Amino acid sequence: MNMWTALLDVLILLFAAMVLGGIFERLRQNAILGYLLAGTLLGPHAFDLIPNHQAIAAIAEIGVALLLFAIGLEFSWRKLRSIGVIALGGGILQIVLTSGFAACSGLLFGLDLKSALVIGAAVSLSSTAVVMRLLTDRTELESIHGRNALGILLLQDIAVVPLVLGVIFLAEGRDTNNATWALFRSLGYGLLFAGILFVLLKFALPRLLQAKVAALNRELPILLAIVTALGCAWGSHTLGLSPVLGAFIGGLFLAESPFATQIRADVGSLKTLFLTLFFASIGMLTNPTWIIENWLNVATLAIAIVIGKLILTSTIVRLFRYSTMHAFATGACLAQIGEFSFVISIIAKDTRLFSNTLFETIVAVTVITLFTTPFLVENAKRIGQAAGRVSALLRKRSYLVSDSAMDEPKVQSNHIVIIGFGPAGKKVAEELLDAQESLVLVELKVDLVREAQNLDIKTVIGDATQIETLHEVNVESAKAVIVTVPDPETVNQITTRIRASAPAIPIIARARYHRFRNNLQRAGASAIVDEEVEVGLRIVSELYSVLSSKQKT
């Protein structure tokens, strides 16, 4: 194969991805859908304009390894803990239960046990790349359902490595003895490989490449990242393990190095390149003719998976004491099959765990569910609100109240209601307690509720976007309401509900971004704390303070 021919194929694919990605962005859709469509149109099952698709697939495989390296570089236990138990508990439950239901469904449709287990693993994953991009664009990453989705997606990303190892284990285990030997061999090689990487990246390289030297030469951290990612992927492949595993472990260890912050910033463009190639190469696997011929089966299966994952994920989130609205909004965001399902499916096909028909089906269904993702994320709150109304009709209430709060009489009048007990809400509460004000807090997160109760603040665990919760804290007789929730859309909804219940009450609302200020004014906020404006004023104040101190010295 001529190198320049392969380069031309890459350029054609990237150009098509750029054009179609731009068109999708103009249509307010995710550019990744354009990358998928570009690969589908140029692939062997459509116009067949990329004859060297094997070379593209090989490049994309390296791209997947680099993508996992970047995920490992971003991973942190502190970040996971900040999201709460929904990340660990909810993420594990989501993967286990979704895999179990999907595997059982596969068995009912006549698949063998190994194929059914692989189907379960593939279906359990959602799309981190698409969902995170959409939530970020819609400024919903800090919303309750956005944070829930982020926590579960992080856990899914971590689970990719053991799931891939599990698929390889199923493929190599022809009988019990061979399977057991394959498992212990993989574990042994994995531990040995991880130990070597730990010594190199934790002790050897930091001494060789000191932080001061790296700061003076921007190329060195980039070279370190590339060498680590590709070297770990090659080493893992050489040991008979997944290159994805090696790249992830390399990123995980490098995340603790002093170069981590600079590397995260510098590898962003490389990650974008390989991510584009990955999705475009996945699009090349899609067979439009086969989908048209089997459209009824594919559409039925895609609808069943989306609805099934939505309901199952929502039920799991509900177990963590989130309202029905926020649970179903989270479920809507995670209802698709993710990009790493392609990785699992390709391994299953190459190891003959999947037949060609089963592989075509999974690829087609995954692509279709990815195309539905922008619609689901955009309407996640509406789906959640509809589910909340249905739940209210069935159960006569759609909010959660702690046992201690249920035994208390309704709160007195002339109190101040604080909605949200994050850093901003906590600071407000502390200042008002010093002023001996009577406070009532509305908060959803149980750990934050405990903090408030330790300060002897009367607390209701509930969803402030629901009118019943506002009645529970007697908002109509309050002195004022302070809304400190960071998500702009949620603040807007809460303000609207409060103004409808109490037309004359003062409402002080937090505006995370300046562009949402007018929305809050229309919703009825009496006063708005514009974070971006306040930050600008504080910076100027600090500037003059520093300059004044300098002049005195």
User: Is the predicted pLDDT of residue 18 greater than 50, yes or no?
Assistant: yes
Q: What is the pLDDT of residue 529?
A: 92
Q: Confidence band (pLDDT; 50, 70, 90) for 214?
A: low
Taking the model in full, what pTM does it have? 0.71
C-alpha span between 264 and 160 (Å, rounded):
21
Q: Confidence band (pLDDT; 50, 70, 90) for 335?
A: very high
User: Is the predicted pLDDT of residue 77 greater than 60, yes or no?
Assistant: no
Q: Confidence band (pLDDT; 50, 70, 90) for 407?
A: very low
| CB distance 523 to 499 below 8 Å | yes
Q: Is residue 548 part of a domain?
A: no
- Segment 26-36 mean pLDDT: 82
Q: What is the pLDDT of residue 65?
A: 74
C-alpha span between 81 and 34 (Å, rounded):
35
- Segment 464-485 mean pLDDT: 87
Q: What is the pLDDT of residue 312?
A: 95
Higher-scoring residue by pLDDT: 211, 279: 279
Q: Which amino acid is at 550?
A: K
State whether 449 and 333 are in the same domain: no
Domain that holds residue 12: 3-389
- Segment 79-103 mean pLDDT: 82
State whether 310 and 437 are in the same domain: no
State whether 356 and 449 are in the same domain: no
Q: Is residue 395 part of a domain?
A: no
Q: What is the pLDDT of residue 400?
A: 43
Q: Is residue 155 part of a domain?
A: yes
Q: What is the pLDDT of residue 428?
A: 92
Q: Confidence band (pLDDT; 50, 70, 90) for 347?
A: confident
Chain mean position to CA 328: 16
State whether 421 and 360 are in the same domain: no
For position 485, which CATH number holds? Answer: 3.40.50.720
C-alpha span between 478 and 459 (Å, rounded):
15
Q: What is the pLDDT of residue 412?
A: 63
Query: DSSP of 483-498, one letter per residue?
Result: E--S-HHHHHHHHHHH
Q: Is residue 420 part of a domain?
A: yes
Q: Is residue 42 part of a domain?
A: yes
Q: How many domains does the chain have?
A: 2
User: Is the predicted pLDDT of residue 405 greater than 50, yes or no?
Assistant: no
- Segment 49-67 mean pLDDT: 70
User: Is the predicted pLDDT of residue 66 greater than 60, yes or no?
Assistant: yes
Q: What is the pLDDT of residue 100?
A: 94
Q: Confidence band (pLDDT; 50, 70, 90) for 396?
A: low
State whether 366 and 313 are in the same domain: yes
Q: What is the pLDDT of residue 404?
A: 42
User: Is the predicted pLDDT of residue 532 greater than 70, yes or no?
Assistant: yes
State whether 383 and 477 are in the same domain: no
The full length of the chain comes to: 553
User: Is the predicted pLDDT of residue 275 greater than 80, yes or no?
Assistant: no
Q: Confidence band (pLDDT; 50, 70, 90) for 209?
A: low
3-state secondary structure 199-262: HHHHHHHHHHCCHHHHHHCCHHHHHHHHHHHHHHHHHHHHCCCCHHHHHHHHHHHHCCCCCHHH
User: Is the predicted pLDDT of residue 504 greater than 50, yes or no?
Assistant: yes
Q: Give the position of tokens 């699009």.
A: 283
State whether 382 and 508 are in the same domain: no
- Segment 379-390 mean pLDDT: 86
Question: Maximum CA pair distance of the chain?
Answer: 83
User: What is the tens place of the pLDDT at every residue in 125-181?
Assistant: 998 878 877 887 777 877 788 888 988 987 887 787 788 778 877 876 655 555 566
State whether 88 and 216 are in the same domain: yes
Q: Is the dihedral of CA 515, 521, 525, 530 positive or negative?
A: positive
Paired strand residues for 29: none
- Segment 390-401 mean pLDDT: 59
State whether 332 and 409 are in the same domain: no
Q: Is residue 265 part of a domain?
A: yes
Tell me which of 389, 415, 436 is where a domain ends.
Answer: 389
Q: Give the position of tokens 């190459």.
A: 350
State whether 188 and 234 are in the same domain: yes
Q: Give the position of tokens 């993420």.
A: 91
Higher-scoring residue by pLDDT: 413, 409: 413
Q: What is the mean pLDDT of the chain?
A: 81
Which residues, at least 6 apart from 1, have a Cβ–Cβ distance to it below 8 Å?
52, 55
For position 227, which CATH number holds? Answer: 1.20.1530.20
For residue 553, the surrounding DSSP H or E stretch is: none
Q: In a 10 Å sphere around its CB, with 0-12 CB exposed, 13-18 middle and 19+ buried, how is residue 357 labelled?
A: exposed
| CB distance 440 to 429 below 8 Å | no
CA distances from 234 to 56, 321, 339 (A): 18, 45, 22
State whether 237 and 288 are in the same domain: yes
Q: Is residue 150 part of a domain?
A: yes
State whether 163 and 104 are in the same domain: yes
- Segment 50-70 mean pLDDT: 70
Higher-scoring residue by pLDDT: 213, 49: 49
Tell me which of 389, 423, 450 is where a domain ends.
Answer: 389
Q: Is residue 352 part of a domain?
A: yes
User: What is the tens place of the pLDDT at every residue in 182-205?
Assistant: 666 766 777 777 787 777 777 776
Tell me which of 346, 361, 389 is where a domain ends.
Answer: 389
